[in-house]
Structure 1
């Protein structure tokens, strides 16, 4: 692989990769669609269905702890965080969005594993529905691309 090819999204190949997915169940219809799109895209790029570990947690704040447990096993080449946080009338939206995002980033850096963060933060359900399939696919592509890049850099 040449330097210019490292991380090239045109060369996505998930064959042999192991990917862990943590899906928040809060707003389950939307996060279920995120998960379906993500898993279909992983498989479209060659990740075996048997190499995808998919777990669910109650909400976005619980996603980082499940990701941490997966990262500690060292069984995965990449992880994916899936959730949907819809703004409400209180400050809770900001708390959940900020803390879940910070937790995902910290885990990626601490455990040296790529984590595609597809925890949607939206104003309303219409915005979420407009994004779920694309963001699910994007998360899969990011996971594959970053897993390839980190392997190439080792």
Structure 2
């Protein structure tokens, strides 16, 4: 069982310039969400960062809220927090898969985010994972966002476009050609 495993966690990055994150939480299970938020806040504050917090109705609304913020505001990163507990219908699968897919797509588009949406079989699993004195998955999500922000800052100004660009030389079997 994962509870008895030991895991390596990267040390928190240091920032020369302060970071500001947006925590987006779906408080459907309020006590669990509050614990996730407490863990995320502690991790952000540990690096001297600041945060804003917004609430959305459910896990499916988290990716669109982050997408809006990424387009319309100036956050360095985002923390997605919520909890989906398996019920009697396939709605659980839809919510888990689509919220995760939405966050993955945002990340692939360059958003520095940590996914702290718990997907569990029962409330007990959620409580253990959300507890700041337990598995502290809220902190883990914030730490993931912080590490991605550090990478983005490290690599900023060094971006290279993907694919061929005008003037690139291409080595071909019969010699070299210029695009």
Normalization by structure 2: what TM-score?
Answer: 0.75
What's the counterpart of residue 48 of structure 2?
A: 46
- Please identify which structure carries the higher helix content: 1
Q: Distance in 1 between matches of 2:66 and 2:12?
A: 26
The 8 Å contact of residues 77 and 111 in structure 2, kept in 1 or not, is answered as: yes
Residue of structure 1 equivalent to 2:5: none
CA contact under 8 A between 1:61 and 1:100: conserved in structure 2? yes
Query: What does residue 12 of structure 1 align with?
Result: 13
- In structure 2, the residue matched to 1:138 is 140
* Aligned structure 1 segments of 4 or more residues deviating by more than 2 angstroms: 8-11
Identify the structure with bigger relative contact order (alpha carbons < 8 Å, sequence gap 6+).
Answer: 1
1:63-122 Cα shifts (integer Å, max 9, x gaps): 111111111125111111001000011101000000000011112222x12110000000
- The number of residues matched between the two structures is 143
**C-alpha distance in 2, partners of 1:117/1:135?**
9
Q: CA RMSD for the aligned pairs? A: 1.5
Could you state the TM-score of these two structures normalised by the residue count of structure 1? Answer: 0.87
Which position in structure 2 is the counterpart of 1:4?
A: none
Larger radius of gyration: 2
Give, in whole Å, the separation in 2 of the partners of 1:10 and 1:58: 33
1:18/1:52 contact within 8 Å kept: yes
Q: Where do 5+ consecutive residues of structure 2 fail to align?
A: 1-8, 157-179
